A = this chain, B = another copy of it.
Amino acid sequence: MFTLKDLVRRTVLTKRHCYAVCGDDGNLTWEQFQDRVERVAGALVAAGLNAGDRVAIMSLNNAIYFQFLYAVIWAGGIVVPINTRYAPKEVETCLEDLDGCWLASDEHFVTLLRSLEPQVHGVKGHFFVGKGAVPEGYTGFGTLLEGDASLVAGDPLTTDVALIFYTGGTTGQAKGVMLTHQQLTYATQQIAAAFRTDKPLCFEDRYLHSAPMFHMADGIMCFVTAMLGCANTFMERFNVPEFVEHCNRFSVSWITLVPTMMKALCDYLQETGKAIPSIKGIMYGGSPMPRATLAQIMDVFGDVQLFHGYGSTEGLIITLLEPKYHTLDEKNRRLLESVGKPFHGVLLGIFDADGKPLSYGEIGEVYVRSNGVMKGYWRNPQQTAEALRDNWYHTGDAGYISEDGFLFLVDRVKDMIISGGENIYSIEVENAIGTHPSVDEVAVIGRPDSSWGEIVHAVVKCKNGHTLTYEELAAHCRQWIAGYKVPKSIDFVDDPLPKTPVGKINKAAIREAQEKVHLLET
């Protein structure tokens, strides 16, 4: 009975003079925001948008995108933010998969979309959410703002889909994750509750969208800010000096970053002597925070609150490592490597390959149960049935739960290597190799082997000016991990390892490339 529209209405009711948007193009209060969103929604209805219509958006972060996203939802449509780093063919596949859609784009992607359109069936219209001249054939945002709010007939049901996020594009066919109003408000509320600390995220805060909004990690914050009535500000792309400048210009107090970005930011602040005194909360994810980076953050940001979240597009929010564990105390050394405890309202289980539940400390696949778990994959009942089995969402992540209830992730299940009957988690091996001071990047994969089933193989890029031999690195590994986990082969490369669109090392691409390269035999 409570939709994403009600979330905005509630904030307008209780905090209408607070800011929804601030930035170079001016500020909007939540009341002004809702008024604009309603008018744009009316224009979308007038243009022929029906309830349940998909609206694909290809845009870098900006305030118009933010308003347009809510307007589509207001009109009863489904927002489909497309990963702007996808290759053209991947974008085409997503658009085609939508089975008829509307297109929205900023100035950066109009050309790309035009090149794809001949291959995409059922495009119903074009909206421009960028800067500068409105491209031909597109309806500009200024025109949309002249819409008639009264044309919006009613509200969606809470069980209606509000968003589709495509995921997994780089490791196979992209799948459209369907998320309903209820699932999104549920997850939003969990995050809002987690941010209720003694220095809570509140109406006085300004959240900077510097991570791409097409990714759930930042995308969900579009709803969290609306629930808490705090202001949104936007950067098209993350870039350290501009980030610092933006934060200081708009007194940004809350951000989302991955640890590698945090490190680059701290390095820059330490080198330049600059500061961002307004920051009070930092959400991160993707990997644990190295203690060295944590020390740097404490040096640069003082007692800033760090939140380590683990989630996925399909499961939304899953676990959280709260600020209190982000210290350099010896007692937190172990916990800092975890992803924390399940949110209230989220149940976890660890299961073996046969679906048998495992106990504390035993490694297996992480299953999740919550009201935030997706409705399913768009037009993909088979993959849906695979992911949502036995009343659990199967994350594909491998990990264990400690006796004190913390979740430790060790790997993707499909990245587990089975060698001579032993399960080997590639991340364990990667961590061992990564401790060598000459190593810059590393990826560990399994390679088919006639006698062992699979063997452990590593791909390593040394730091500039450093070199290593197989023997040196294998000897180093033996100090950290059991002999059977030490790579049987290592490939030393000069170029940075390939990355996925969200900046993770792309193991699928490495596996493919490795099939073609010479192996340095043991």
| Nearest B residue (CB) for A393 | B1
**Complex Cα spacing A228 to B344, Å:** 8
Contact B189–A13 (Cβ < 8 Å): no
Contact A2–B342 (Cβ < 8 Å): no
Task: Decide if A158 is an interface residue (CB 8 Å cutoff).
Answer: yes
Question: Chain A binding site: helix, strand, loop or mixed by DSSP?
Answer: mixed
Task: Decide if A193 is an interface residue (CB 8 Å cutoff).
Answer: yes
Task: Decide if A370 is an interface residue (CB 8 Å cutoff).
Answer: yes
| Chain B residues, CB < 8 A from A227 | 344-345
| Smallest beta-carbon distance A286→chain B, Å | 23
Contact of A10 among B9, B196, B342 (CB under 8 A): B342
Contact A189–B345 (Cβ < 8 Å): yes
Contact A370–B1 (Cβ < 8 Å): yes
Contact A369–B1 (Cβ < 8 Å): yes
| Chain B residues, CB < 8 A from A14 | 341-342, 404-405
| Chain B residues, CB < 8 A from A393 | 1
Contact B155–A391 (Cβ < 8 Å): yes
Q: List 23 A-B contacts (CB under 8 A).
A: A1-B371, A1-B393, A2-B345, A2-B346, A2-B369, A2-B371, A6-B347, A7-B345, A10-B344, A10-B345, A13-B347, A13-B348, A13-B405, A14-B341, A14-B405, A155-B391, A158-B371, A182-B371, A189-B193, A192-B344, A193-B193, A198-B198, A227-B344
| Nearest B residue (CB) for A388 | B1
Question: How many of chain A's residues touch chain B, expressed as a range?
Answer: 35 or more
| Smallest beta-carbon distance A110→chain B, Å | 38
**Complex Cα spacing A10 to B10, Å:** 30
| Smallest beta-carbon distance A366→chain B, Å | 12
Task: Decide if A373 is an interface residue (CB 8 Å cutoff).
Answer: yes
**Complex Cα spacing A2 to B373, Å:** 9
Instruction: Taking A13-B401, A189-B190 as given, write out 6 further A-B residue pairs in contact, using a Cβ cutoff of 8 Å, ordered by the A residue number.
Output: A1-B371, A9-B347, A10-B342, A13-B405, A155-B391, A193-B344
Task: Decide if A167 is an interface residue (CB 8 Å cutoff).
Answer: no
Task: Decide if A185 is an interface residue (CB 8 Å cutoff).
Answer: yes
| Smallest beta-carbon distance A365→chain B, Å | 16
| Chain B residues, CB < 8 A from A369 | 1-2, 6
Task: Decide if A511 is an interface residue (CB 8 Å cutoff).
Answer: no
Q: Which of A35-88 contact B (CB under 8 A)?
A: none
Interface residues of A, Cβ cutoff 8 Å to B: 1-2, 6-7, 9-10, 13-15, 154-155, 158, 182, 185-186, 189-190, 192-193, 196, 198, 227-228, 341-342, 344-348, 369-371, 373, 391, 393, 401, 404-405
| Chain B residues, CB < 8 A from A185 | 345, 371
| Chain B residues, CB < 8 A from A6 | 347, 369
| Nearest B residue (CB) for A7 | B345
**Complex Cα spacing A13 to B2, Å:** 30
Contact A15–B155 (Cβ < 8 Å): no
State the number of copies, please: 2
| Chain B residues, CB < 8 A from A404 | 14
| Chain B residues, CB < 8 A from A9 | 347
Can you list the 4 inter-chain pairs with the closest CB atoms, starting with the nearest? Answer: A14-B405, A193-B193, A6-B347, A196-B196
Contact A373–B1 (Cβ < 8 Å): yes
| Chain B residues, CB < 8 A from A192 | 193, 344
| Nearest B residue (CB) for A14 | B405
Contact of A196 among B193, B228, B348 (CB under 8 A): B193
| Nearest B residue (CB) for A228 | B344
**Complex Cα spacing A196 to B201, Å:** 13
**Complex Cα spacing A412 to B342, Å:** 41
| Chain B residues, CB < 8 A from A155 | 391
| Nearest B residue (CB) for A190 | B189
Contact A370–B13 (Cβ < 8 Å): no
**Complex Cα spacing A9 to B393, Å:** 16
| Chain B residues, CB < 8 A from A348 | 10, 13
**Complex Cα spacing A30 to B483, Å:** 41
**Complex Cα spacing A12 to B217, Å:** 28
**Complex Cα spacing A251 to B183, Å:** 39
**Complex Cα spacing A459 to B404, Å:** 60
| Nearest B residue (CB) for A16 | B405
**Complex Cα spacing A373 to B2, Å:** 9
| Nearest B residue (CB) for A368 | B1
**Complex Cα spacing A404 to B265, Å:** 39
| Chain B residues, CB < 8 A from A342 | 10, 13-14
| Nearest B residue (CB) for A405 | B14
Central interface residue in A228, A347, A373, by most chain B CB within 10 Å: A347
| Chain B residues, CB < 8 A from A347 | 2, 6, 9-10, 13
**Complex Cα spacing A182 to B13, Å:** 26
| Smallest beta-carbon distance A492→chain B, Å | 43
